[in-house]
Amino acid sequence: MKYIFIEIDLRIAGDETTSKAVLEIEDDKDEFLAAKEYLKDFWGEGEEEYGSEWVTYPNDNLGRLRRVETVTEAEYEVLKRFI
């Protein structure tokens, strides 16, 4: 297994915020693709905008990946307790 830390920029009814998550993924899975899947399912079935890095959710909010970083298992264990 490997572990990733993700930051997501969100636009919610005109306001902007950031969400963070840590994920455990299979060794053979690409970190960026795993993060993109998580992003698309963040608020239901999001749709990627063609030519844009933003995902539109059913509630009309928007999200995009800000950062994807591989972390160690020890870092993952700490982060999952505080995020």
User: Looking at residues 30-54, what average pLDDT do you find?
Assistant: 93
Q: Which tokens in the block code for residue 82? A: 């505080």
Which pLDDT value is given to residue 41? 93
For residues 36-62, average pLDDT = 92
Alpha helices in the chain (DSSP H): 31-40, 73-82
Considering its fold, how many domains does the chain have in total? 1
- Give the tens place of pLDDT for each residue, 17-26: 999 999 999 9
pTM listed for this prediction: 0.90
Tokens representing 16 are 């902007």
Domain that holds residue 70: 2-82
Query: Tokens representing 54?
Result: 């933003």
Cα–Cα distance for residue pair 59/61, rounded to 1 Å: 6
Q: What is the rounded average pLDDT of the residues 32-54?
A: 92
